[in-house]
Structure 1
Amino acid sequence: MWYSSAVGISLWALQTRNLDRNTILRLAECEFVEKNENILITGSTGVGKSYLGTALGYQACIQGFKVSYFNTSKLFAKLKMAKADGSYLRELAKIERQDVIILDDFGLQALDSSNRITLLEIIEDRHNNGSIIVTSQIPVQGWYDIIGEKTIADAILDRLIHQSHRLELHGESMRKKRGINKG
């Protein structure tokens, strides 16, 4: 069963992270991919956002979907370089061909005008054509400030949020707990 073997999320972890077991099991069936829905995972550092996002991406891979993982800051840097060398549209096309993309650590820094437009293009390409899993330390209501310009933020968030499953994780940092257990 996916719940225990592929991801290894224990009942304790579900309860301490504010996760509903049935919701996670339903998402693991990957119907969200077939419906082109998104998953927005928020919470403080170390609570397992990236772990959960990549686990759901892994499950989608097992079911035959094409999935790509991106650290958001590194993706934007890569796409800026692609604009400079003329490969930007080719890189966007690669992203567009994926059934699911994972944007990890979204919002660690505010978007500049170039990254804002790039994000809008990615979101527009995927709207009703693919799924996005976003992980962020910033609550969704704070994403307007991260994106910047209100008109573009409205366009991005309207396409991203209204077809999404939102998971807000709680609890203490697992990195901190591991450090305590080792010491």
Structure 2
Amino acid sequence: MSLTNHQYDQIMRQYEALRSERESLIHERREEVYTNIPRFQEIDNEIATSSVDLIQASIEGGLTGSVDTSNLHSKIEALIQEKMDLLRTHGYGVDYLNPPYHCPDCKDTGYIGHRPCHCFNQRAIDLLYAQDHVQKIFERENFSHFSLDYYDNDYYDDKDGSGLSARENAKKAYEEAQRFVRDFSTRHENILLYGDTGVGKTYLSNCIGKAVLDQGFSVIYLTAFQLFEIFEKNTFHKKDRFDDDTVPYKNIFDCDLLIIDDLGTEFANSFTTSQLFQCINERLIHKRSTVISTNLSLKDIKETYSERIFSRFIESYIPISLFGKDIRVRKTLEEF
């Protein structure tokens, strides 16, 4: 992810705050344990003393080659075991004084070795695209909450031609989306979700986005309007643009998964068509996955955009159609 120095520092301060918060929690818990289990503090002091003795003995052993430190090792191990036993006896978990990190992979440092952690990349995306609201949506709209109950078993779409009911078709779409997620790291596939308004296209896109994000990949979610707004700003306002403004444009091509919601709701013209082709073509070349949802039919897509775009969709995207009664209306009626 491309970041300015200010943005980078902002993210690193977030990690510093996370580590500080964890250290404060450890300190509070340790004081609590010392109060409730006085022997625990005595053991910590004994371990500290024995550790110093071990270091000194190791130094002497390195000089003389004749110092046996096995007794000190055994003593420290026994003291550690006694601590674990005391915690269990008094109703604490053995890792009560070792609370989990927000990211166990980088231990809330943002880096694994010299490479940015996946959590750092996602924080960069969240900062650049103000995606806090997307994270909240992902918590509600994910595979765990996906329900086939909103799709009728006796509803068929004459235009679909598959012979499947709305529920059977939705089940097929759900399974294909899950397979896409399972194979995400190796297959580099793309999905085109199409169908009428309110049939769950955006919801299924969010399910995919949440699952891919949970695997540690970077995800950018943009409506078609937001996407073309970034393209327009990058193309026509270069003289007035700050360095910060070039970052979102670059990352659209670099992120692991780009979700474009509601393609076709933008004002389509030669500019949007050329920019859309560049976006999907560049991502195909670099094997970056894209999920696009649209209310347009395949025929509408062909008529609205260029032949080149349509051919890319046909050749390189998995088409998934959804149909049925408007789920948003049904949910609204259920609230009354």
> What does residue 150 of structure 1 align with?
none
1:130 aligns with 2:288: yes
Q: Does 1:84 align with 2:241?
A: no
TM superposition score normalised by structure 2: 0.47
- TM-fit CA distance, 1:155: 1.8
Corresponding residue number in structure 1 for 2:257: 100
Separation in 2, partners of 1:24, 1:132: 13
Paired residues of 1:43 and 1:136 also in contact (CA < 8 A): yes
Change (3 A) 1:174 1:123: same
Identity among equivalent positions (%) equals: 25
Does the C-alpha gap of structure 1 residues 116 and 33 become closer, same or farther in structure 2, counting only changes over 3 Å? Answer: farther
1:144 to 297, 302, 313: 302
Residue of structure 1 equivalent to 2:186? 34
* Cα separation, 2, equivalents of 1:69 and 1:22: 22
Residues 96 and 78 of structure 1: CA distance in aligned 2, closer, same or farther (over 3 Å) = closer
Instruction: Give the Cα separation in 1 of the matches to 2:333 and 2:148.
Output: 22
The 1:162–1:174 alpha-carbon spacing in structure 2 relative to 1, beyond 3 Å, is same
RMSD (Å), alpha carbons: 2.3
Residues 141 and 110 of structure 1: is their aligned pair in 2 closer, same or farther, counting only changes over 3 Å? farther
Tell me the TM-score normalized by structure 1: 0.83
Letter in 1 for 2:333: I
1:90 deviates by 4.8
Q: Is the CA contact (8 Å cut-off) linking 1:33 and 1:131 kept in structure 2?
A: no
Which residue is equivalent to 2:227? 75
Q: Tell me the distance in 1 between the aligned counterparts of 2:257 and 2:303.
A: 25
Q: Which has the higher strand share?
A: 1
Superposed displacement of residue 137, structure 1: 0.7
**Could you say what secondary structure the match of 2:263 adopts?**
coil
Aligned-pair CA distance for 1:161: 2.6
Query: Aligned equivalents of 2:214 and 2:222: distance in 1?
Result: 19
Gaps in structure 1 of 5+ consecutive residues:
148-152
What stretches of structure 1 move > 6 A for 4+ residues in a row? none
1:105 aligns to what SS in structure 2? strand
Change in 2 beyond 3 A, CA 1:79/1:107? same
CA contact (8 A) 1:82 1:91 kept: no
Deviation at 1:139, TM superposition (A): 1.1
Q: 1:169 to 1:89 in 2, by over 3 A?
A: same
One-letter amino acid matched to 1:163: S
In the alignment, is residue 163 of structure 1 matched against residue 320 of structure 2? Answer: no
Q: Could you say which residue in structure 1 is the equivalent of 2:278?
A: 121
**Match for 1:8 among 145, 157, 169?**
145
In our comparison, the structure showing a higher alpha carbon Rg is 2
Number of residue pairs matched?
173
What is the aligned partner in structure 1 of residue 210 from structure 2? Answer: 58
Asked if structure 2 preserves the Cα contact closer than 8 Å seen for 1:33 and 1:100, the reply is no
Which one has more relative contact order, counting CA pairs under 8 Å at least 6 apart? 1
Structure 1 residue 171: Cα displacement: 1.0
Q: Deviations over 1:119-144 (max 9, x none)?
A: 11101210142111010111122102
Q: In structure 2, how many angstroms separate the alpha carbons of the residues matched to 1:6 and 1:12?
A: 14
Q: Which amino acid aligns with 1:42?
A: Y
Q: 2:180 touches 2:189 (CA, 8 Å); kept in 1?
A: no
Counterpart of 1:94 in structure 2: which amino acid? N
Cα drift, residue 167 of structure 1 = 1.2
Instruction: Give the structure with the higher percent helix.
Output: 2
Greater shift, 127-136 or 87-96, is seen at 87-96
In terms of mean alpha carbon deviation, does 10-19 or 72-81 score higher? 10-19
